[in-house]
Chains A and B, each alone.
Chain A
């Protein structure tokens, strides 16, 4: 068994949240730059230029790309040959989140109770998803998810008879209804299959895929292309001011499901698209 001290996890989590809030991922930066060549709307082009400039300022000044530095979402894949020493995994992650948000001058955006709404003051608790995997490594993925795009996400239990068309209609309807609110250009994560709770998680995991990678299955790869083309025909455009570039990417993740069900979930992410993965 391999022993890992809890502080290695908490320190890593703290650093990761600072990093993703200051530095726009290179794949997003490149996608925005490429979009500038395609966008036809003058206002849209202006928006894209300002987003690139924003990324440069954020990195240079170590100031968050966006003031909504998100609720902390942490995926942990824990090798079954690892023993965490000193504290439990959940505490280690939450201590890391609290430290990162405090040391990094990030905004604390979490309230203790959904109705009483008193700020917890340190952006904890994080939303933590854990899985046990073979081996002696710990894979940590962090994502800072803003409220604006998360609020525009949706889930539906379709009938199997709805098929591909039903999925396409639901995704388009969700993106159309979201309009300018989730800060387009957006990244669209789609989860298909599983059940009521798994489909949204698949959609969230789909958002973690690099922008230049597609689904390995040809059918779903085509579906990703079709959806991206249809979304970019909606005319919403950068910041919703009208234009060709509404989404930079559509990623779909799937899972087997019940003979009676066709669950579909759409998780929308804004152009800051903050996430990163490390292994310790």
Chain B
């Protein structure tokens, strides 16, 4: 670990070039949520040549379907969901300008390549730590697909949202490196 790096969303190239697999980051700014059903809809919107619900340039997508907030709260529990279910839709979104996604778990080789080709990184937040992560979400509003309930697209403002860099721009992979280091034959 090289100390925590601060990221301001939306992201620029300089911030991305500075990241290495294994870095812990702390995210500030606006991010957008989307999981399975929202991805399917965005994918169809792009394929049809229609306008996305938000401008994707430099943005971070967070794979999350939060629990409903208690009255007076910003959001309920809000940790990442398994990323590989979004693999089918990811390359197109990266081509549209998304520069990072936050999820959990490994992705296919093809997707790993797609991140590098599009100059984007894969961040992993702690799966099953939705209570802790919710404390870093200071504002949340549904901006599209309200009918999808927990799968709607939220615009979230985050402060110090913690994540780890999993795939960086240089082709390194935290999962692979970590397992190699600790595996006993």
Contacts and interface: CB of A to CB of B under 8 A. Distances in A.
Partners in one complex: yes
Interface of A: 40-43, 46-47, 50-51, 53-55, 57-58, 61-69, 105-109, 117, 119, 121, 146-148, 151, 179-181, 183, 233-237, 239-244, 270-272
Contact of A66 (B73, B128, B174, B184): B128
Interface stretch (B43-51, B87-95, B113-121, B175-183): B175-183
Nearest to B132: A54
Interface residues of B, number: 47
A244 B67 contact: no
Contacts of B148: 119
Nearest to B76: A105
A17 to B, nearest CB: 12
Interface in B94-151: 104-106, 124, 126-132, 134-135, 148-150
Contact of B76 (A51, A107, A109, A234): A107
B77 A63 contact: yes
B81 A241 contact: no
Contacts, number: 172
Contacts of B81: 67-68, 147-148
B30 interface: no
Nearest to A181: B105
A270 B37 CA distance: 23
B161 interface: no
Contact of A242 (B24, B131, B182): B182
Nearest first, the 10 closest Cβ-Cβ pairs linking A and B are: A242-B178, A235-B183, A235-B182, A181-B105, A58-B131, A183-B127, A64-B77, A54-B132, A233-B184, A54-B129
Contacts of A235: 178-184
Given A54-B128, A239-B104, A239-B126, A64 B67 contact: yes
B67 A106 contact: yes
B26 to A, nearest CB: 13
A180 B131 contact: no
Given A41-B181, A242-B177, 4 more contacts: A181-B106, A183-B104, A235-B183, A239-B127
Given A47-B126, A64-B67, A243 B182 contact: yes
Contact of A239 (B78, B82, B84, B124): B124
Q: Which of B73, B78, B129, B180 has the most CB of A within 10 A?
A: B129
Nearest to A185: B128
A180 B126 CA distance: 11
Given A69-B67, A107-B65, A61 B131 contact: yes
Nearest to B182: A235
B53 interface: no
A109 B81 CA distance: 12
Contact of A148 (B22, B104, B126, B182): B104
B105 A179 contact: yes
Given A179-B106, A237-B182, A241-B175, A67 B130 contact: yes
Contact of A65 (B77, B84, B162): B77
Contacts of A237: 178-179, 182
Contacts of A64: 67, 76-77, 130-131
B153 to A, nearest CB: 15
B66 A180 contact: no
